[in-house]
Amino acid sequence: MTLDTRSTRPGTSPAPRAARVPAPAPGRLPVRPAYTKRMRLADTLQTLCITSVALVVAIFLADGGAADFGTFADTLTSIGILAGLIGTDLLLVMMLLASRLPPIDRAFGHDSAMALHQQLGKPALYLLLGHAVFLIGGYAAAENVNVFAETWSMFFTLPDMPLAFLGLGLLIAVVVTSLVIVRRRFRYEAWHAVHLLGYLAVLVSVPHQLSVGGLLAEGAIARYYWLTLYLGVAAAIIVYRFVLPIVRSLRHQLVVDRIERIAPGVVSITLTGREVNKLRAESGQFFIWRFWSQGLWWQAHPFSLSAAPTNDSLRITVRALGDASADLPNLPRGTRVSFEGPYGIFTDRARTAPHLVLVAAGIGAAPIRSLLENADFAPGGATVLLRSHSVGDSYLSSEIIELCQRRGAELRIIAGTRAPRGDSWLPADAAAARITLRTLVPQLRYSDVYVCGPRRWTDAVVRDARSAGLPTRQIHYERFDW
């Protein structure tokens, strides 16, 4: 392991030594008002989600569902109806989590919201599969026929049932392609196109709920409740996934202004436009970018800001990873750019502790560098850890060194190769010596830790922070995969 600790830029006179920030008194750290406000919003949203499931069950029971368990056939049918209602409710919650709704992004951040979105996928699918299986079993038992004959009869005789079967098939395709082992075999654009079928799955399932389900009969309370849910989710998706990004892109008219080569295959792209400050972007956030150039217009790229936003410009730092992003260094000046965002809570607003620890690997240095530029800390109140294979291959290292020197932050460049099968984020010799995040940062307990880099490496840093006793609220991370 090579450990390069610097507080000044090489070749410059040393900055005045920063005084160490005194540690708070032992005990629980005081909670910042911004964090309390965010947690209240998160609790409210979680309560609303749980309440929506409870309302589904309550409406079913209030509509006479409690009396429909008298016979074996009725029991199967009622379980099937209830499973379908809860599964559909979870499916709508999933769609809301992916809708880029501002309250969800402010409360949980994009990364956590999409993680929960993925976690709900299997339960929703199992409930909807149970809906089909129990209903077919209940109808077959009531008519005294086998399940295959009942399936055939339902498909061809009940109105809108072919659409319901189509919706279930599309949902299975979406969930299967979301599995990590399957997802890695897809290009992002192909996976995203399949994922959009989830919207179609919900859409084609609506007619059979209205025409077949007695629970949603004309005039029933449940009918208006579900229509309100469907329309609300549809409005959120249309407005925040499509309308707002188009309006913002047209309003701010971002174009490529300058491209600076940072390293082989790595460039910083400066974008300028009108009234960029009105986007209210913050250091550490990301946008989803679309560059309107030949061969690139059809691809959307999630890139974090690598510098603090200004009144008329934004900057991103991009590493070519073999797909169309390899063409980004050759973008002509003036190329139009559309975007979605800003997204994420990988910002200084999420802080809960007085000290700041920024940990980056590879191109993860981009959002870390932007955070370092304007995060709120006193001299000596921040530590930056840059992880690389060698001291010279840390991206944006010269800018980070200059910022550390100017702001009084401690910088450590940790170079070396990880063990082939190790679970440490540090080089193999450091892991063998039992060096940890806590030994590198003595004031870790009183710190917020921001981590950005590849998924497995980030997970290893997060595990290290948690094993040191750091609570979840003091750990923030972004991952570079989908």
SS (HEC) of 161-192 = HHHHHHHHHHHHHHHHHHCHHHHCCCCHHHHH
Q: Name residue 305's beta-bridge partners.
A: 316
Q: CA–CA separation, 345 vs 347, rounded Å?
A: 5
Q: CA–CA separation, 244 vs 242, rounded Å?
A: 6
Q: Are residues 214 and 160 in the same domain?
A: yes
Q: Is the Cβ–Cβ distance between 105 and 281 less than 8 Å?
A: no
Q: Are residues 258 and 229 in the same domain?
A: no
Q: Are residues 153 and 238 in the same domain?
A: yes
Q: What is the dihedral of CA 428, 432, 437, 438, to 10 degrees?
A: -170
Q: Are residues 225 and 363 in the same domain?
A: no
Q: Are residues 204 and 276 in the same domain?
A: no
- Whether 20 is covered by a domain: the verdict is no
Q: What's the CATH number where 306 sits?
A: 2.40.30.10
- Whether 27 is covered by a domain: the verdict is no
Tell which residue, 423, 440, 406, 465, has the closest CA to residue 476.
465
Q: Are residues 296 and 412 in the same domain?
A: no
Q: CA–CA separation, 288 vs 329, rounded Å?
A: 17
- Whether 338 is covered by a domain: the verdict is yes
Which residues are within 8 A (CB) of 127 and not within 5 positions of it... i.e. 6 or more apart?
83, 84, 86, 87, 90
Per-residue pLDDT at 8: 41
Q: What is the side-by-side strand order in the sheet with 382-388?
A: 2-6, 410-415, 382-388, 355-361, 447-453, 475-479
Looking at 231, 247, 263, the residue that finishes a domain is 247
- Whether 2 is covered by a domain: the verdict is no
Q: Are residues 219 and 85 in the same domain?
A: yes
Q: What's the CATH number where 403 sits?
A: 3.40.50.80
Tell which residue, 2, 16, 4, has the closest CA to residue 405.
16
Q: Are residues 366 and 472 in the same domain?
A: yes
DSSP 325: G
DSSP 284: T
- Whether 1 is covered by a domain: the verdict is no
Write the burial class of residue 302 (CB in 10 Å: 0-12 exposed, 13-18 middle, 19+ buried).
Answer: middle
Q: CA–CA separation, 167 vs 188, rounded Å?
A: 23
Q: What is the dihedral of CA 402, 284, 394, 302, to 10 degrees?
A: -140
φ/ψ bin of 332: left (φ > 0), alpha (ψ from -120 to 50), beta (otherwise): beta
The first and second tokens of residue 277, run together, are: 């400050």
Each residue's pLDDT, cut to its tens digit, for the chain (482 residues) gives 555 544 443 333 333 333 444 445 445 566 677 788 888 999 999 999 999 999 988 888 887 776 677 788 889 988 998 998 899 899 899 999 989 999 999 999 888 888 888 888 889 889 999 999 998 999 898 888 888 888 888 887 877 778 888 888 888 877 777 665 555 566 666 666 666 777 777 777 777 776 666 556 666 677 788 888 889 999 999 999 999 999 999 999 999 999 999 888 899 999 999 999 999 999 999 999 999 988 788 888 889 999 999 999 999 999 876 555 677 888 899 999 999 999 999 999 889 899 999 999 988 999 999 999 999 999 999 999 999 887 677 889 999 999 999 999 999 999 888 877 778 899 988 888 889 999 999 999 999 999 999 888 999 999 999 999 999 889 998 765 55
- Whether 182 is covered by a domain: the verdict is yes
Q: Is the Cβ–Cβ distance between 372 and 400 less than 8 Å?
A: yes
- Give me the sign of the Cα torsion angle 41, 47, 49, 52: negative
φ/ψ bin of 27: left (φ > 0), alpha (ψ from -120 to 50), beta (otherwise): left
Q: How far is CA 392 from CA 37, 135, 387, 402, in A?
A: 42, 64, 11, 15
Per-residue pLDDT at 187: 63
The first and second tokens of residue 327, run together, are: 């063409």
Per-residue pLDDT at 117: 86
Longest alpha-carbon distance in the chain: 90
Ranges of beta strands (E only) in 82-157 are: none
Per-residue pLDDT at 190: 66
Per-residue pLDDT at 215: 57
Per-residue pLDDT at 185: 61
Question: What's the domain count of the chain?
Answer: 3
Ranges of beta strands (E only) in 274-415 are: 286-291, 301-304, 313-319, 336-343, 355-361, 382-388, 410-415
Q: Are residues 163 and 260 in the same domain?
A: no
Looking at 325, 343, 361, the residue that finishes a domain is 343
- Whether 471 is covered by a domain: the verdict is yes
- Whether 74 is covered by a domain: the verdict is yes
Q: Is the Cβ–Cβ distance between 380 and 19 less than 8 Å?
A: yes
What count of other Cβ atoms lies within 10 Å of the Cβ of residue 468? 16
What count of other Cβ atoms lies within 10 Å of the Cβ of residue 393? 13
Q: Which domain holds residue 309?
A: 254-343
Q: Are residues 324 and 442 in the same domain?
A: no
Q: Are strands 313-319 and 382-388 parallel, antiparallel or unpaired?
A: unpaired
Q: Are residues 229 and 314 in the same domain?
A: no
User: Could you give the 3-state DSSP secondary structure of residue 233?
Assistant: helix
Place of tokens 């830029």: 9
Whole-prediction pTM: 0.82
Per-residue pLDDT at 17: 37
- Give me the sign of the Cα torsion angle 213, 217, 222, 227: positive
Q: Are residues 240 and 378 in the same domain?
A: no
Per-residue pLDDT at 437: 94
Looking at 343, 365, 382, the residue that finishes a domain is 343
The first and second tokens of residue 312, run together, are: 């008329």
